[in-house]
């Protein structure tokens, strides 16, 4: 129950203990290396979110990730439930910004990387400040979008993995840093 209490910003997690990460799909477990997120043998991906962050408004999340397998890694922001969130989805060659509302996914923007994103250690991020949404790679902006509508104003953080092959998505999140931002 304590893990579900509201968390405050700034927030940091090294995954030495479980601070309330909820497995939504696929598999997730704490390991000495961090939060291991992976598809199960009968799923094409996995997702987790941090309980107690649904009231967060304007923030930037940076995550240290070891990408092991799969076609896409997503950083989720303004997660209210699995049917309402914003995601920066990273593939080897592209970053895609999606917004899912009432379970309906809409591609908002995309950009091709100058150099491919390879398996292994990487630093990825997502920033949601007011109407501005940014996707980050190595703390540098790789995609930005200004939401002209109301959009999602609050919600927490999470991670999603995906592959077209069952059981073939794996990553370890070794660290997360979330800072409060002012619009």
3-class DSSP assignment, residue 3: helix
**What does the DSSP assignment read for 34-61?**
EEEEE--TT-SEEEEEETT-TT--SEEE
Question: In whole angstroms, what is the distance from residue 74 CA to residue 70 CA?
Answer: 11
pLDDT tens across 66-124, in order?
999 999 999 999 998 888 999 999 999 999 999 998 989 999 999 999 999 999 999 99
- This prediction's pTM: 0.93
| 90: β partners | 73, 95
pLDDT tens across 121-159, in order?
999 999 999 999 999 999 999 999 998 666 778 999 999
Segment 163-170 shows an average pLDDT of 95
Question: In whole angstroms, what is the distance from residue 52 CA to residue 4 CA?
Answer: 5
Reply yes or no on whether the pLDDT at 7 is more than 60.
yes
Residue in this structure with the two tokens 């400040």, named with its chain if needed: 129
Question: In whole angstroms, what is the distance from residue 153 CA to residue 110 CA?
Answer: 21
3-class DSSP assignment, residue 25: strand
HEC string of 118-145 equals CCEEEEEEEEEECCEEEEEECCEEEEEE
Sheet holding 94-101: strands in order across?
21-25, 45-50, 156-162, 72-81, 84-90, 94-101, 104-112
């Amino acid at each position: 129950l304590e893990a579900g209490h509201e968390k405050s910003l700034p927030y940091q997690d090294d995954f030495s203990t479980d601070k309330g990460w909820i497995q939504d799909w696929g598999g997730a477990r704490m390991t000495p290396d961090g939060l291991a997120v992976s598809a199960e043998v009968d799923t094409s991906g996995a997702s987790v979110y941090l309980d107690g962050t649904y009231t967060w408004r304007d923030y930037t999340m940076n995550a240290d990730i070891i990408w092991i397998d799969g076609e896409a890694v997503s950083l989720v922001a303004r997660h209210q439930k699995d049917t309402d969130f914003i995601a920066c989805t990273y593939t080897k060659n592209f970053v895609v910004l999606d917004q899912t509302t009432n379970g309906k996914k809409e591609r908002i923007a995309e950009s091709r990387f100058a150099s491919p994103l390879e398996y292994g250690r990487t630093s990825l991020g997502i920033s949601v400040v007011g109407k501005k949404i940014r996707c980050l790679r190595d703390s540098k902006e790789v995609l930005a979008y200004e939401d002209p509508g109301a959009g999602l104003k609050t919600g927490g953080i999470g991670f999603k993995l995906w592959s077209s092959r069952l059981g073939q998505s794996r990553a370890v999140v070794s660290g997360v840093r979330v800072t409060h931002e002012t619009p």
